[in-house]
Chains A and B, each alone.
Chain A
Amino acid sequence: MTVIAPNSAETLADEMLLRKRGPLRATLDFCRRKPLGTLGLAIMLIMFAAGIFADWIAPFDPEDNDFNAMMQAPDWLHVLGTDQFGRDIFSRLVFGARTAMLVGFGAAGVGGVIGLVLGVASAYFGGWFDLVFQRVLDVLMAFPLIILALAVVSVFGTGVFNVIVAITIPLVPRCGRVVRASALAVREVPYVDAARALGFGHTRIVLRHMVPNVVAPFLILLSAFVGQAILAEASLSYLGLGVQEPVPAWGLMLQGSAEDYATTAPWIAIFPGLAIVLTVLGASLFGDALRDAIDPKLRDR
């Protein structure tokens, strides 16, 4: 039995429309129709730019202790104040954006791509491979993201690279499961059968013919994963299991400060908290809007 997935056909039509309209026009349309999503995108872009250009934006070295400026309230020199070591909070936030983006995009990107390939492969091969692979995903998905990340960090240790690995692992099954569902429909379309009949190899069929057709749900997932990964990194660092001092990271900046300096120097906890909230909110708003824009069922609502 051959089933043609309506979503795939409509998505193809969307892509054709997008090509016809041009990326600039499509982006402008997106901005006009999705103001909240645009706000989310803007926040993400600002944070991304802050991370990339941190060396030029930050007025101070984020790791430089200055004992003459400990716990100073925001003023013209230190616009967001200083922390308990006299380090400029604005500079640490800007460099913290680099850590957040590195972990957020790194974990979401790597986890998403691995999940994409494995999910599509699982749908394509089916049979025992699919059965065993899905049960492995069941086991991994039984753990909440942060719990699994905690377990991984406790095995591999702390540090930026290990945090990316720790967050990537729980993201793989989440992506793999969703992508497999879409890929099951794509597997049955005639051009996949045609590719098989022409004698193309499995790798070519999976990567060239199936993966591009599940990109839409993948992109939506990816935008959600970025926010989740940033939040997970902040949580791990807050628990003392993520990035370690003196590396600037938002969760690490919150660690201890909220409790110890909540009344005497509240800016130490407020600004990194705000940065986390804004970025996760931005990723979430953008992800929702992207889903609405790409999913034909939701597009006209």
Chain B
Amino acid sequence: MAVRLGLWAAGLGLVAAVAALPAEAQTPKRGGILTYVIPADAPPSFDAHRETTYATIHAAAPYYSVLIRVPPDNPASTTEFVCDLCTEMPTPTDSGKTYTFKIREGVKFHDGSKLTAQDVATSWNYIVFPPKGVTSARVSYYEMVDKVEAPDDTTVVFRLKRATTAFLPALADPYTWIYKKEILEKDPHWYEKNVMGSGPFKMVAYEVGQSIKGERNKDYYHEGQPYLDGIIGIFADKQSVRVDALRADRAAIEFRGLPPSARDQLVKEGGKDIVVQDSDWNCGNILTPNHKKKPFDDVRVRRALALAIDQWKGAPALAKIANVRTVGGIVFPGSPLAATKAELEQMAGFWPDIEKSRAEAKRLLKEAGAEGLKFELLNRNVDQPYKFVGTWVIGEWKKIGLNVEQKVVPTGPWFSNMRAGTFDVAMEANCQSVVNPVLDTGKYLPYKVYPENYGGYDDPKSVELYDKMQTETDPKKQREDMRAYEKHTMDTMVHEIVLLYWYRIVLARSYVKGWKISPSHYLNQDLANIWLDKSP
């Protein structure tokens, strides 16, 4: 069985590799319309500055430009950033506190007007310092920014309060679309319902809940791009509809990610007509014990919960049925700041000897007077991978005598239960876009510092360790500081139990070329480099 699965996995890898090779070797062909499916019924609005969902990105990113981004030809890189509207990546001055960007000349908005540094600076000022009545979802990402200025029409200057390695990755956030200054100043809510940018495609039609259509922007500034004549995004929130669309070639690609069962089915049926791209996902499930509820206020109980879970054995098994695969700590496993396997094995929940680990868990429970503890695991009513992972950990806890019931609720009550603290242990996730460990790990700070932490704990030591790490600019020292913060969070205090990182599986018809997968479904979605290897 294991051999058969191994061969199957190897086969899939080969398919992916073979599919990737010709894209680099072949010359892109111009023309054609790309039809893709968007796993949502509709975006809540078209204003990326205020939204946090991929539904907005997948629907409208092709119509906008950004200042910098992850490289479209290597979006899996966690350290490389390239210009989109700027002409070259700047070297910071003023001891790392000032970044000066030169903006491309000759860029036009889709209404024909000229895009200048004023538009870039205004857009960024609305993102970093939103005026009253304007919502910006990512203000906290840019707390290091002091000022954004445009001294002339081709220059944008970012002045920081302090030097930090978190700035450039934050600047490459895919939601930071550049809007027209004149429109923003006249009506800052205009972009919620309208689409008008300077990206590779111009929007031509939008039917709510049905589709969004775009045509090639002939004035696009990246030479030769886009290759496609047009794009059609079809909204389909049901997975079966998306899989059927790919199977019948009514859609060519789905960018968010499908589960392994869909991959196996489509690859089996479609053969060489279906290609698979997969990647670790900058998104992972975490278990949050409610520190305000007994006995989860006792670190021995929290530690026992972590020690019971066999992550090393669970990861490869769950990868066959759910969108998860990689074992990791608080930092995305592909990042230079991530813990190595040897470092992880020193922490609770990652010991290589699971029997020893579970024996220690039982001892701790006994010591804490919590043997045979019965409690509820609050989970989100989303199959992939929340409920799969939830069922797995309940099985692991049973092995140390815990009796856990899963309470699955829709997204709204799931959030409200966590925010109100009405839960025992919650299954949640830490999902980010650009891999930016310094900001991504803010999730593990106490709720007084990071309001989206639901553990209900206060821990000045944790804040102290985080601050030391985030202000450190030497990569080696910063890595050491990250380890100290991680060990404190996951081992010493066990504030959170970090589970498996998600795994992104993107399926496409084999004629879709040029697009490469990234560790986030928010990234690399302007579709400018996609081309179709078939006759129009």
Other than the given A244-B405, A256-B383, 16 more pairs (CB < 8 A) read A63-B394, A63-B395, A64-B395, A65-B391, A70-B320, A157-B409, A158-B407, A158-B409, A244-B406, A245-B387, A246-B395, A246-B406, A247-B405, A259-B240, A260-B262, A264-B265
Which A residues are CB-close (under 8 A) to B317? Answer: 67, 70, 86
Cα A86 to Cα B392 in complex, Å, equals: 11
A sample of 29 cross-chain residue pairs with beta-carbon separation below 8 angstroms, ordered by A number, consists of: A63-B394, A63-B395, A64-B395, A65-B391, A65-B392, A65-B395, A67-B314, A72-B1, A84-B320, A84-B321, A85-B395, A86-B317, A158-B407, A159-B407, A240-B381, A240-B408, A244-B405, A244-B407, A245-B387, A245-B408, A246-B391, A246-B394, A246-B395, A256-B383, A259-B239, A260-B262, A263-B265, A264-B265, A264-B268
Give B215-248 as 1s and 0s: 1 = Cβ < 8 Å from A's Cβ atoms: 0000000000000000000000001100000000
A85 to B391 Cα, complex, angstroms: 9
A72: chain B residues within 8 A (beta carbon): 1
B398 within 8 A of A: yes
A87 (CB) vs chain B CBs: closest residue:
B395
Tell yes or no: A271 within 8 A of B by CB: no
Given contacts A63-B395, A63-B398, A85-B391, contact A264 B261 (CB under 8 A): yes
* Interface assignment of A60: CB less than 8 Å from any CB of chain B: no
Q: Which residue of A lies closest to B320 (CB)?
A: A70
Name the B residues within 8 Å of A246 (CB-CB): 391, 394-395, 406
Q: Which residue of A lies closest to B404 (CB)?
A: A246
Q: Separation in Å of the A280 CB from the closest CB of chain B?
A: 25
B392 cross-chain contacts in A, Cβ below 8 A: 65, 85
Cα A64 to Cα B396 in complex, Å, equals 9
Nearest-neighbor residue (CB-CB) of A256 within chain B: B383
Interface string of B432-476 (1 = CB under 8 A from A): 000000000000000000000000000000000000000000000
Give every chain B residue within 8 A of A84 (Cβ-Cβ). 320-321
Q: How distant is A55 from chain B, measured CB to nearest CB, in Å?
A: 16
CB contacts (< 8 Å) of B480 on chain A: these are: none
Residues of A within 8 A of B (CB-CB), count? 23
**A261 touches B (CB below 8 Å):** yes
Question: Nearest Cβ distance between residue A255 and chain B, in whole angstroms?
Answer: 8
Instruction: Tell me if B390 counts as interface (CB < 8 A to partner A).
Output: yes
6 A-B pairs with the lowest CB-CB distances in the bound complex, closest first: A67-B317, A260-B261, A65-B395, A245-B391, A244-B406, A84-B321
B489 to chain A, nearest CB (A): 27
Q: Mark B260-278, 1 if CB is under 8 A from A, else 0.
A: 0110110010000000000
Cβ of A256: which chain B residues have Cβ within 8 Å of it? Answer: 383
Name the residue of chain A whose CB is nearest to the CB of B262: A260
Q: Find chain B residues with CB under 8 A from A70 CB.
A: 317, 320-321
In whole angstroms, how far apart are the Cα atoms of A67 and B320 in the complex? 10
Residue-wise interface mask of A (99-128) relative to B, using a CB-CB cutoff of 8 A (1 in contact, 0 not): 000000000000000000000000000000
Q: Which chain B residues lie closer than 8 Å to A244 at the CB level?
A: 405-408
Q: Tell me the bound Cα distance from A260 to B384 in angstroms.
A: 12
Rounded to whole angstroms, the CA-CA distance of A84 and B261 in the bound complex is 10
Taking the closest CB of chain B, its distance from the CB of A69, in whole angstroms, is 9
CA distance A213 to B268 in the complex (A): 63
For the complex, would chain A's binding face be called helix, strand, loop or mixed by DSSP majority? loop
Give Cα distance in the complex from A21 to B265, angstroms. 61
A166 to B381, CA, bound (A): 19
The reply to whether the CB of B313 lies closer than 8 angstroms to some CB of chain A is: yes
Q: How far is the CB of A127 from chain B (nearest CB, A)?
A: 43
Please state if A245 and B390 are interface contacts (CB–CB under 8 Å).
yes
Q: Is the CB of A157 within 8 A of B407?
A: yes
Contacts of B262 in A (CB 8 A): 260
Contacts of B405 in A (CB 8 A): 159, 244, 247
| Whole-angstrom distance between the Cβ of A164 and the nearest chain B Cβ | 15
Q: Does B514 contact A (CB under 8 A)?
A: no
Scan B388-415; emit 1 where CB is below 8 A from any A CB, else 0: 0011101100100000011111000000
A:153-173 near B, CB below 8 Å = 157-159
B43 interface hit (Cβ, 8 Å): no
* CB of B310 to closest CB in A, whole Å: 9
Interface membership of chain A positions 223-258, coded 1 if the CB is closer than 8 angstroms to chain B and 0 otherwise: 000000000000000001000111100000000100
Interfacial chain A residues near B75, Cβ < 8 Å: none
Cα separation A259 to B268 with both chains bound (whole Å): 15
Instruction: Note all chain A residues with C-beta closer than 8 A to B391.
Output: 65, 85, 245-246
- Cβ distance B404 to chain A, nearest Cβ, rounded Å: 9
Instruction: Bits for A136-160, please: 1 = Cβ < 8 Å to B, else 0.
Output: 0000000000000000000001110
Q: B519: CB under 8 A from chain A? A: no
- Complex Cα spacing A240 to B409, Å: 9
Measured in the bound complex, the distance between the Cα atoms of B395 and A64 in whole Å is: 6
Interface presence of B329 (CB below 8 A)? no
Residues of B near A86 (CB, < 8 A) are 317
B169 at the interface (CB under 8 A from A): no
Asked if B333 is at the interface of the complex by the 8 Å CB criterion, the answer is: no
Interface centre among B265, B320, B321, B409 (most CB of A within 10 A): B321
Bound-complex Cα distance A5 to B212 (A)? 68
Q: Which of A1-27 contact B (CB under 8 A)?
A: none
Does the CB pair B261–A261 fall under 8 Å? yes
Min CB distance, B266 to chain A, in Å? 11
Interface members, chain A 252-301 (any B CB < 8 Å):
256, 259-261, 263-264
Rounded to whole angstroms, the CA-CA distance of A67 and B261 in the bound complex is 16
Report the bound CA distance from A117 to B351 in whole Å.
60
A261 to B265, CA, bound (A): 9
Nearest chain B CB to A199 CB, angstrom units: 52
Interface string of A37-78 (1 = CB under 8 A from B): 000000000000000000000000001110100101000000
Q: Mark B371-384, 1 if CB is under 8 A from A, else 0.
A: 00000000001010
A264-B264 in contact (CB<8A): yes
Of residues A64, A245, A263, which shows the largest number of chain B Cβ atoms within 10 Å of its Cβ? A245
With the chains together, A86 CA to B317 CA distance in Å? 10
